Amino acid sequence: MSTENITSPANQPDVAKRSAVELIKESSRALRGTIAETLASDADHFSDADMQLLKFHGSYQQEDRDARKTRRKDGVGKHYIFMVRCKIPGGRVTADQYLALDAIAGQHANGTLRITTRQGIQFHGVLKDHLKPTIAEINACLLSTLGACGDVNRNVMACPAPLDDGVHAQLQETAAVLAAHLAPRTRAYHEIWLNGKPLTGNSHHEADLEPLYGKVYLPRKFKLGLTLPEDNCIDIYAQCLGFLALVESDRIVGYNVLVGGGMGMTHGRPNTFPHLAQPVCSIPAAAVVPTAEAVVRLFRDHGNRADRKRARLKYLVHDWGIDRFRDVLSEYVGGTLQEPKPVAVRGVESHLGWHPQGQGKWFYGLSIENGRIKDEGDFRLRTCLRTIVQRLRPSIRFSPSQDILLCDLDGGALEEIQRLLAEHGVRRPDELSNVQKWSMACPAIPTCHLAITESERALPGIIDQLEVELQRLGLQHERITVRMTGCPNGCARPYQSDIGLVGRSGDKYTVFVGGRALGDRLNFPLRDLVPLKEIVPLLVPLLADFRDKRQGAEGFGDYCQRVGLDYLQGLLPPPAGKAGGHAPRPASDGAPPAGPGAADGALPAPPATQAITVEVAPPVVTPAPLTTSPVKRSETFLAGPPGEELPDYTYRYNSDGSVRETVVYFYGDDLRAAEARPAHALRREAVYLGKVDPTRLHSARKLSDIYHVGPPWHERKDYRIDYHPDGQVAQTIVFYYDGDRRASEVPSGAVLRRQVVFDGPVSL
Ligand code: SRM
Ligand code: SF4
């Protein structure tokens, strides 16, 4: 494994500019921190620094958010609990491993197992004293939690169908090889959780070398998946790195390599956004491991280590453009890269129900609502699955849509499975509605500390209502994907579905439409701040219009894309009260944030991705005396708390009233007005063509960036960069002031004397 370029200083920011997590990683002694000491102590939780390191070991320190109120009333502190995540390449486990996981859920966690959207398994509610036995028992059944979270390669996804066609098995084997190759090498994991011998002196340094990751690991998480064109069940366009198999004569002979997918975004940070992976090259099958390693090394060296919200590979791909990315990748691969083949995804399977897998064997895909395997009243899913696995000994696959496949079964097994399901109150896939089968939600409250709203506990109610409405409209057989998350991080990949519901504030959601099951395009925001109970009523007129006016076999998401946002908004009921709004841009709802930290004080502290309240003040244009027909030249919108408002964006109008350009202002360290304070100077004006939604700038056509220097209120423009439509730099204009000096050398108020236009980019 090559170690060249590890954290090459040329590519990394100064220590002062690196994020706090970078420093924690660097001084962690290969992820040890003081985890072992805290485990041995009476403390019920870990320090902030260890919390970061714990993630690499596969666990998150959480708080039972349901218990907050009562605990606050009782004057006791947070109830700390831990989530433990197993990394399971391709979602594949044996019957024995499944039974071991089931036992761990009962002995150490909250009695549930949760299948994740990346084919892993999570345990929730693990107490600190149970952490060590939980992780030890997971390892005893030959599974691992190392690198399930943290700034490393995460669980490798692969189509879980156990089809005996050579190709599916090859995908699974490759997933396992990639997972092993990209796994961290630190001995800390064994030392802490498996009673491995602590290393001392020089042996410590040598044995703990991370040949791929180096001392500071990756800038952020990295995600990788493999699939086939006919079945994009892994959502390849959401992966940092996707391998799309090229098949000839029933063998995978190569892959199209896709880079730069990712879902997460942060409200109020328009430079964060969901992004679909793009094809960058094609490779022979034998090159899959070195290519994956090369992409990881490129990310390690060039990813953003200063701002974790902009640290994912997708921002490199977006900011550089795919051509530059390909050029840099070819240096890492050490040769010219082949163009991608003209192959894209063309289908997607749910894998639910009874299917032949070849060699006389069968598999049964069982739908698990939001991935949660539990017993609750008469619904005894966990017991049912345990009984099936004990009796029939199937091998198991977890699917990317949080479902379970019982594999390698004899033809006669179906009857027994169906009988056991009925006995335990579990519905068969053929008894479920389509909308239920194609839905997903993330855990959100009570375990996820980033959750703004409910998700896993709210989606079933939405699905119940949708089932009634779809039946009434005769649309019950449609494949409409509904994905919900409790915040904009996108853990259930909501930005690719026909209907995406993203937690925004209190019980309100942003409603997105226009994606589809195939996962090959992003949806768009339909309405912001929609209260939970108004979501289905909001969608019903659209569904009715879709039924009446759909063209051919188009799906609901296709219809939404075709008719467009303006048309759809014309169908919507008006927002109830002041809370909702047509505009997908941030707006104030006045509700107190339902974020973490509520147990500690009178007001809950906002979570990292808390909906940002943006006060949109009236335009700063001075109204001209009203003549017969006033002409509006521009309109500036401000944001920020009272008394500290800053211009956020401006519309510049044509004489016919249409918007010619949108100018968006960035302050300090590239902050939007809602996040900046008056002490932050204006640093950049980004100018976009036409009217642009200021919360979704990544899809807009940027004309230019104008850079400023100087303290607040005394900023002077220094240079401007104009762009071609493909994002390449067309020209750079440098401004010179009195005495032929640059902006940084003159006082404010200096007179602009000269501007020099250079072709293309210029080093300034
Ligand atoms: Fe996720 C953070 C749950 C798949 C994007 N995710 C979290 C945390 C760990 C919250 C935290 O940082 O404290 C959540 C734990 C909640 C809990 O109580 O369990 C969490 N993510 C999940 C899972 C369990 C959701 C699920 O319903 O299954 C999934 C675990 C997958 C696994 O086995 O590894 C899960 N997360 C995803 C996906 C989907 C995917 O990978 O295909 C995404 C979108 C793709 C992407 O990465 O962009 C995703 N999770 C995020 C983000 C946004 C990251 C970003 O850079 O934009 C965060 C926040 C963060 O990392 O700071 C996050
Ligand atoms: Fe938590 Fe947000 Fe992920 Fe849901 S989408 S699990 S609320 S981080």
- List pLDDT tens digits, range 725-761: 778 888 899 999 888 889 988 877 777 888 888 888 8
Dmax (CA) for the chain in angstroms is 91
- What is the model's pLDDT at position 694? 87
Per the model's pLDDT, the better-predicted residue between 676 and 544 turns out to be 544
Q: What is the mean pLDDT of residues 211-232?
A: 97
Helix axes 381-392, 413-423, angle to 10 degrees: 150
Residue 290 structural domain: 166-183+218-349
Structure tokens, 85: 């995540």
Domain endpoint, select from 349, 371, 401: 349
Question: Residue 484: is its pLDDT beyond 90?
Answer: yes
CA-nearest of 600, 592, 603 to 506 is: 592
The pLDDT score that the predictor gives to residue 321 is 96
Three-state DSSP state, 744: helix
**Which amino acids are annotated catalytic?**
85, 154, 221, 223, 442, 448, 487, 491
399 and 417 fall within a common domain: yes
In tens, the pLDDT along 300-328 reads 999 999 999 999 999 999 999 999 999 99
State the Cα–Cα distance between residues 412 and 432, nearest whole angstrom.
23
Question: Of 327, 349, 371, at which residue does a domain stop?
Answer: 349
Residue 16 has pLDDT above 80, yes or no: no
Shortest-distance ligand to the CA of residue 440: 1
What average pLDDT does this structure show over 623-642? Answer: 69
Ligand nearest to the CA of 118: 1
Q: Mean pLDDT across the stretch 191-213?
A: 76
Residues 322, 334: Cα–Cα separation, whole Å: 18
Same domain assignment for residues 382 and 326: no
Please say if the pLDDT value at position 596 is more than 60: no
Considering the domain architecture, whether residues 450 and 410 belong to the same structural domain is answered as: no
Q: How many beta carbons lie within 10 A of that of residue 583, not counting itself? A: 16
Reply yes or no on whether the pLDDT at 582 is more than 80. Answer: no
Q: 467: domain CATH number?
A: 3.30.413.10
Q: Which of 287-296, 565-574, 609-618, 677-686 has the lowest average pLDDT?
A: 609-618
Confidence of residue 700 (pLDDT cuts 50, 70, 90): confident
Question: Is residue 623 included in any domain, yes or no?
Answer: no
φ, ψ for residue 21, nearest 5 deg: -65, -35
- Is 680 within the bounds of a domain? yes
Do 516 and 372 share a domain, yes or no? no
- Do 515 and 557 meet the contact criterion of CB atoms below 8 Å apart? yes
Residue with tokens 């109970």: 533
Residue 592: per-residue pLDDT: 26
The pLDDT assigned to 629 comes to 59
More confidently predicted of 204 and 441: 441
In single-letter form, the type of residue at position 395 comes to: S
Give Cβ neighbours of residue 567 (< 8 Å, ≥ 6 apart). Answer: none
Pocket mutation for ligand 1, best pick of 19, 152, 440, 491 (most atoms within 8 Å of C-beta):
491
Query: Do residues 365 and 468 share a domain?
Result: no
Taking alpha carbons only, the member of 307, 308, 313, 329 closest to residue 261 is 313
Average pLDDT over residues 579-601: 30
3-state secondary structure of 294: helix
Region 112-138 average pLDDT = 98
Burial code (b: 16+ CB inside 10 Å, e: under 16) for 721-760 equals bbbeeeeebebbbbbbbeeeeebeebeeebeeeeeeeeee
pLDDT band at 48 (very low <50, low <70, confident <90, very high): very high
* 248 within a domain of the structure (yes/no): yes
Residue 53 belongs to some domain of the structure: no
Is pLDDT at 270 greater than 90 in this prediction? no
pLDDT number for residue 209:
82
606: in domain: no
Residue 448 CA, ligand 1 centroid: distance in Å: 10
* 510 in the same domain as 451: yes
Per the model's pLDDT, the better-predicted residue between 331 and 761 turns out to be: 331
Percentage of the chain exceeding pLDDT 90: 73
> What is the C-alpha separation between 742 and 764, in angstroms, rounded?
11
Q: Within this chain, do residues 657 and 745 fall inside the same structural domain, yes or no?
A: yes
Record the pTM.
0.79
Q: Separation of 729 CA from ligand 1 center, angstroms?
A: 35
Give domain status of residue 203, yes or no.
no
Q: If you measure from the C-alpha of residue 491 to the centroid of ligand 1, how many angstroms do you get, rounded to a whole number?
A: 4
pLDDT of residue 593 exceeding 60, the answer is no
Terminal CA-CA length for the chain? 37
Q: Cα–Cα distances in Å, from 746 out to 25, 394, 667, 715, 740?
A: 42, 76, 20, 11, 10
Distance 469 CA to ligand 2 centre (A): 28
Task: Tell me the pLDDT of the chain averaged across its residues.
Answer: 89
Pairing of strands 80-86, 379-380: unpaired
Structure-derived torsion over alpha carbons of residues 634, 640, 644, 648, reported in degrees to the nearest 10: -30
Protein residue whose Cα sits closest to atom 31 of ligand 1: 118
Given 577, 601, 625, the domain boundary residue is 601
Coil, strand or helix: which one is 687? Answer: strand
**pLDDT greater than 80 at residue 260:** yes
| 330 found inside a domain | yes
Residue 568 falls inside a structural domain? yes
Q: For the ranges 443-457, 471-485, 659-673, which has the lowest average pLDDT?
A: 659-673
Residues 337 and 360 both lie in one domain: no
In this structure, the residues whose C-beta lies within 6 A of any atom of ligand 2 are 442-444, 448, 450-451, 455, 485-487, 489-491
Domain count of the chain? Answer: 4
Average pLDDT over residues 143-149: 98
Adjacent-strand bridge partners of 363: 355
What gap in Å lies between CA 297 and CA 218, rounded to an integer?
9
Asked whether the predicted pLDDT for residue 245 surpasses 90, the reply is: yes
Examine the pLDDT at 384 and tell me if it is beyond 70: yes
For the chain, helix, strand, coil in percent to 5 are 30, 25, 45
- Give kind and range of the element (H or E) at residue 527: strand 524-531
Do 447 and 596 reside in the same domain of the chain? yes
Confidence of residue 11 (pLDDT cuts 50, 70, 90): low
Which residues, judged by CB distance below 6 Å to any ligand atom, belong to the binding site of ligand 1?
60, 83, 85, 116-118, 120, 122, 154-155, 223, 238, 262-264, 312, 371, 442-443, 447-450, 489-493
Based on the fold, state whether residues 424 and 468 are members of the same structural domain.
Answer: no
Residue 60: nearest ligand to its CA? 1
Tell me, in angstroms, the distance from the centre of ligand 1 to residue 360's CA. Answer: 38
Same domain for 445 and 561, yes or no, is: yes
Alpha helices (runs of H) in 576-710, residue ranges in sequence order: none
What pLDDT is stored for residue 15 in this prediction?
Answer: 62
- Res 222 pLDDT > 70: yes
Q: What is the pLDDT of residues 386-405, one digit of tens each?
A: 999 999 999 999 999 999 99
Same domain, 419 and 446: no
